[in-house]
Chain A
Amino acid sequence: DTGVSQDPRHKITKRGQNVTFRCDPISEHNRLYWYRQTLGQGPEFLTYFQNEAQLEKSRLLSDRFSAERPKGSFSTLEIQRTEQGDSAMYLCASTGGEGYTFGSGTRLTVV
């Protein structure tokens, strides 16, 4: 296990379609975070899991967004009825302490 894996790396979808992203954290990390990053900006917090429990959600996470982390292992982030404003890089990070390990991200383009 060499790091945090995200799949897919790139996703192009038509407006109105649903998309799902997957994150595989470092196996011994119990905390997992999702962030969204738009061009020229820093990452913005979306949601946080400790093991399988989703403990915090940003107000950025509208009701079209849902995230899960079954059994406290991998996590999925689903966006329903995508909009052009959802186009961004979606980053997953895990930690067992203080410093985060980030995945390479999933770049979503909504056309």
Chain B
Amino acid sequence: SQQGEEDPQALSIQEGENATMNCSYKTSINNLQWYRQNSGRGLVHLILIRSNEREKHSGRLRVTLDTSKKSSSLLITASRAADTASYFCATAVSGGYNKLIFGAGTRLAVHP
């Protein structure tokens, strides 16, 4: 079963704009991770934020985590057409062999 939900389900923007995706989850976690998936391919690990962290940056990516609200957001700044993909949040559930539980994803389309 899915751990949580991503919002929005789909997002369409122009190159250069920022893209924000949100993720909610249900149970206690060790960490939360974001992955990208190009159509029909495997997932690529983008960034990991631990449960005791509130914000993390990696290049054009910024992730926030609010454990009191059980939510996270991924911000992609200055988007490019190559950022077009599906983005998934995944939670490593406490006591769960670091098993990741994925949301349903946000499909991002960046138009030139």
Contact = CB atoms under 8 A, between A and B. Distances in A.
A22 interface: no
Contact of A33 (B40, B42, B99): B99
Contact of B41 (A4, A48, A105): A105
Nearest to A55: B97
A99 B96 CA distance: 15
Given A102-B43, A105-B42, A107-B40, A42 B99 contact: no
Contacts of B13: none
Contacts, number: 65
A55 B98 CA distance: 12
Interface residues of B, number: 26
A72 B101 CA distance: 23
A31 interface: yes
A25 interface: no
Given A55-B97, A98-B48, A42 B41 contact: no
Contacts of B45: 99-102
A104 interface: yes
- Main secondary structure, interface of A, reads strand
Interface in B4-53: 30-31, 33, 35, 40-45, 48
A2 interface: no
Contacts of B48: 98-99
A45 B101 contact: yes
Q: Which of B31, B33, B40, B90 has the most CB of A within 10 A?
A: B40
Nearest to A56: B97
Interface in B45-75: 45, 48
B99 A48 contact: yes
A94 to B, nearest CB: 12
Contacts of B98: 31, 95, 98
